[in-house]
C-alpha cells in the first residue's frame, strides 16, 4: 500500500473525498510534525497503543478515539508494539492476513489525519521476544528466523514506501536482551537490508541492548537511531507487576531515596564480589534507647542472623526454610538449586541500648537473606524508615543515624535522585549522541501499584532529565496500568474524560514537559 492510498483512506474517513480513485489526490498536505533523521530524533511526546501487543490479547483494530484524544491533549507520537502472530495466517509465519494488515494501515492513516507520528515496533518478532512463551527459533543464531523476520519488515517497508519519516518510523525489535553486540548486528543486518531494498530512506530505530539500556555504538555507521528506556529503578517502575519475577518482593517504593541494599550473605557464599559479604551497618551514636526494626522478605534455605550493638549481641535468630506452613508467608521450592527460598514478609524488632556507637546485622551461616526495610524509633519519637533494595551481589547498606530534636534521620553514602538518574541513564547515551546517533526514550512509566505520589515524583525527575537532554519519550501506555487513562490506581481521584477515567495529576505532569 503506497502513501497515496493511505492519504485516500484518511480523506474518505473525514468525508473530503468522493468516489474517485486515490490518484485524484493532487498534493501532499503540509505536516505539522517535526522532521526526523537518524542523527537527530525530534521531541516526540506520546504513548503506546497496545491493540496488537500480544496475540492472546489481540483486540483487532486500533481505536480512532485514541488518536483523537492524543491530538486533543497536544501530544504527537504513538508507538505500536506488535506481535507478528497477529498478522499471520494459521501460525504460518510466511503467510500474511490482509485484514489484520489493513488495521495497521488504518492506524498509520489516523496518524496522518491527526498529525501524530506512528512508530511500528515488533514486540514479538519471528525468532525473538521478551515475553512468554519464547520463540521456537532464535533470531540471533538461526538463518531461517532472520530470513522470515526480514521478510516481514520488507513487507511493511513496501506497503508504506514513500510515507515521510516525520510521519512513520520502524522500531526493529523490542528490548533485545541476552545478546552480544556482534551477534545482534549479524542478526539485524539482513533485516535492515530488506527494509532499505524496498524503502531506502525509511527511518529505522533500534532499541538498545540489555532491555534497552545499552547503546550500540556500531549503529552510527548504519544510519540507525536508537531508543533507550525509562524504567530505572525497576523496583519503582514495576512494583508488584505480576509479569516481573520477584516484583511481589520489592520493598515499598520511595523517591528520592538513600541508595541502600539489604541482601546479606553467609561468610562462605561462593561467587560474590568483594565487599558484598559484609554486615549491614548503622553508625550512631544513639543517645537514647532506640527500637530497631528490620523487615525480612526472602530467605534462601537457612540464615543465621545476629544483631550487635558495639560488641554486644542484642538479638539473634535462625531462619530455616521448608515446605508447608510456618513463620513465613509463602514457601517456595527452587528445583534448580534443590532448596526452599521462602517469603517471610514480616518485621522483627530489637532494642539498641542508649549510648551505643554502632549497630551491625551480620549473617553467621546459611545462604542468604533479604532485608527490605530498616526502621529506627529513638525513645518515644516517630519511626525513621529507609527502604533497602534487594539487588544481588551489592555491598549491604552502611547508614548513619543523625539525632535531631524531633527524632533523627538516617543518611547514606549515596542518594538515588535526579542526579543519580542522569548519571545512570543519560550519560551512557550521550556517548551515542556524540557518535551521531539520534536518541529517544521508547518506553517509560510506572505500574499502578507504586504509590501515586512516589510515581509522580520519580516521573518528574525523569522528564526533567529528558527535557535537558533533548529527548522525546513515550509513556507505556495511554490506557492501562501505566497510563493516564483507566489505570486502576487505588490512590487517585479520577476525572471523567471522554468515557475514560483520567489521572489529571499525571496528565498535568506530562503536559508540563511536553
What is the average pLDDT across 375-390? 93
- Please report whether residue 512 resides in a domain: yes
Measured torsion, CA atoms of residues 508, 510, 513, 514, in degrees rounded to the nearest 10: -110
Same domain, 246 and 272: no
Q: pLDDT at residue 1 above 50?
A: no
Mean pLDDT of 256-283: 95
pLDDT at 235: 92
**DSSP secondary structure letters along 158-170:** HHTTT--TTTEEE
212 is a domain residue: no
Q: Could you list the residue range(s) of the whole structural domain that residue 149 is in?
A: 42-207
Confidence of residue 473 (pLDDT cuts 50, 70, 90): very high
Instruction: Identify whether residues 321 and 444 lie together within a single domain.
Output: no
Mean of pLDDT values over 59-76: 95
One domain for residues 85 and 148: yes
422 and 305 assigned to the same domain: no
Q: Which of 185-194, 243-252, 282-291 has the lowest mean pLDDT?
A: 243-252
Choose the final residue of a domain: 386, 413, 440. Answer: 413
Residue 298: pLDDT band by 50, 70, 90 thresholds?
A: very high
For residue 19, being part of any structural domain is answered with no
% residues pLDDT > 90 (the chain) = 87
Q: Is pLDDT at 27 greater than 70 in this prediction?
A: no
| Residue 7: pLDDT over 80 | no
How many structural domains are present in the chain?
A: 3
pLDDT reported for residue 406 = 74
Question: Does 390 lie in the same domain as 314?
Answer: yes
Supply the pLDDT for residue 17. 31
Regarding whether 326 and 457 lie in a shared domain, the answer is no
Read off the pLDDT of each residue in 285-310 and give the average, rounded to a whole number: 97
Tell me the backbone φ, ψ of residue 453, rounded to 5 degrees.
Answer: -65, -35
Q: Does residue 15 surpass a pLDDT of 80? A: no
Q: Dump the DSSP string for 430-467.
A: HHHHHTT--EEEEEE---TTS-HHHHHHHHHHHHHHHH
Last residue of a domain, one of 393, 413, 433: 413
CB neighbourhood size of 273 (10 A)? 10
pLDDT tens digits, 153-181: 999 999 999 999 999 999 999 999 999 99
Tell me the average pLDDT of the chain. Answer: 92
Residues 59 and 148 in one domain: yes
Residue range 116-145: mean pLDDT, rounded = 97
Is residue 331 in a domain?
Answer: yes
User: How far is the C-alpha of 306 from the C-alpha of 369, rounded, in Å?
Assistant: 12
Q: 408 and 332 share a domain?
A: yes
119 domain-assigned = yes
Which of 413, 440, 457 delimits the end of a domain? 413
CATH assignment at residue 49: 3.20.20.80
Is 432 in the same domain as 392? no
Q: Is residue 34 part of a domain?
A: no
- What CATH number has the domain bearing residue 346? 2.60.120
- pLDDT tens digits for 85-98? 999 999 999 999 99
**Nine-digit cell string for 308:** 550487635
In a domain, 243, yes or no: yes
The residues near 238 (Cβ < 8 Å, ≥ 6 apart) are 231, 244, 247, 250, 447
pTM (predicted TM-score): 0.85
pLDDT of residue 31: 64
Residue 291 shares a structural domain with residue 404:
yes
Residue 356: predicted pLDDT: 97
Residue 376 and residue 453 in one domain: no
- On whether both 185 and 277 belong to a single domain, the answer is no
Q: Is the pLDDT of residue 25 over 50?
A: no
**Residue 362 clears pLDDT 60, i.e. is over it:** yes
Domain membership of residue 24 (yes or no) is no
Residue whose grid cell is 491530538: 71
Amino acid at each position: 500500500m503506497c502513501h497515496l492510498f493511505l492519504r485516500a483512506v484518511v480523506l474518505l474517513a473525514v468525508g473530503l473525498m468522493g468516489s474517485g480513485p486515490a490518484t485524484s489526490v493532487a498534493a501532499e498536505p503540509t505536516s505539522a510534525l517535526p522532521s526526523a533523521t537518524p542523527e537527530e530524533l525530534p521531541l516526540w511526546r506520546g504513548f503506546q497503543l497496545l491493540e496488537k501487543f500480544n496475540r492472546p490479547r489481540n483486540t483487532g483494530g486500533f481505536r480512532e478515539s485514541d488518536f483523537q484524544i492524543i491530538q486533543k491533549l497536544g501530544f504527537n507520537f504513538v508507538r505500536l508494539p506488535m506481535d507478528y502472530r497477529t498478522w499471520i495466517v494459521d501460525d504460518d509465519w510466511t503467510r500474511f492476513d490482509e485484514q489484520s494488515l489493513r488495521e495497521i494501515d488504518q492506524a498509520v492513516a489516523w496518524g496522518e489525519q491527526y498529525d501524530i507520528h506512528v512508530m511500528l515496533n515488533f514486540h514479538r518478532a519471528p525468532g525473538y521476544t521478551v515475553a512468554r512463551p519464547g520463540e521456537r527459533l532464535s533470531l540471533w543464531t538461526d538463518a531461517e528466523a532472520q530470513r522470515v523476520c526480514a521478510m516481514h519488515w520488507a513487507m511493511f517497508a513496501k506497503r508504506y514506501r514513500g510515507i515521510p519519516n516525520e510521519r512513520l518510523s520502524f522500531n526493529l525489535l523490542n528490548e533485545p536482551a541476552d545478546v552480544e553486540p556482534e551477534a545482534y548486528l549479524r542478526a539485524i543486518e539482513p533485516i535492515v537490508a530488506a527494509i532499505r531494498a524496498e524503502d531506502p530512506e525509511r527511518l529505522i530505530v533500534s532499541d538498545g541492548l540489555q532491555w534497552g539500556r545499552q547503546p550500540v555504538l556500531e549503529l552510527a555507521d548504519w544510519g540507525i537511531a536508537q531508543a533507550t528506556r525509562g524504567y530505572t529503578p525497576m523496583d519503582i517502575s514495576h512494583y508488584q507487576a505480576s509479569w516481573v519475577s520477584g516484583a511481589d518482593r520489592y520493598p515499598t517504593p520511595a523517591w528520592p531515596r538513600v541508595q541502600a541494599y539489604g541482601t546479606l550473605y553467609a561468610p562462605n557464599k561462593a561467587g560474590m564480589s568483594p565487599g558484598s559479604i559484609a554486615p549491614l551497618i548503622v553508625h550512631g551514636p544513639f543517645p537514647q534507647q532506640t527500637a530497631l526494626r528490620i523487615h525480612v522478605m526472602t530467605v534462601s534455605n537457612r540464615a543465621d542472623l545476629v544483631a550487635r550493638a558495639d560488641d554486644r549481641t542484642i538479638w539473634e535468630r535462625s531462619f530455616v526454610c521448608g515446605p508447608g506452613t510456618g513463620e513465613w508467608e509463602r514457601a517456595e521450592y527452587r528445583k534448580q538449586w534443590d532448596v526452599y527460598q521462602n517469603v517471610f514478609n514480616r518485621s522483627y524488632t530489637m532494642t539498641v541500648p542508649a549510648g551505643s556507637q554502632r549497630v551491625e546485622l551480620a549473617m553467621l551461616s546459611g545462604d542468604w537473606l533479604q532485608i527490605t526495610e530498616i526502621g529506627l524509633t529513638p525513645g518515644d519519637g516517630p519511626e525513621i524508615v529507609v527502604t533497602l533494595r534487594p539487588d544481588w551481589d551489592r555491598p549491604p547498606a552502611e547508614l548513619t543515624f543523625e539525632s535531631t530534636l524531633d527524632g533523627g534521620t538516617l543518611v547514606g553514602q549515596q542518594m538515588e535522585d535526579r542526579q543519580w538518574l542522569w548519571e545512570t541513564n543519560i550519560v551512557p547515551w550521550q556517548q551515542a549522541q556524540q557518535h551521531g546517533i539520534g536518541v529517544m526514550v521508547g518506553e517509560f512509566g510506572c505500574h499502578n501499584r507504586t504509590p501515586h505520589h512516589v510515581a509522580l515524583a520519580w516521573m518528574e525527575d525523569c522528564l526533567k532529565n529528558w527535557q535537558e537532554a533533548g529527548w522525546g519519550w513515550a509513556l507505556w501506555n495511554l490506557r492501562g496500568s501505566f497510563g493516564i487513562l483507566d489505570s486502576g490506581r487505588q490512590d487517585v481521584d479520577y476525572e471523567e474524560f471522554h468515557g475514560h477515567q483520567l489521572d489529571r495529576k499525571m496528565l498535568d505532569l506530562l503536559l508540563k514537559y511536553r
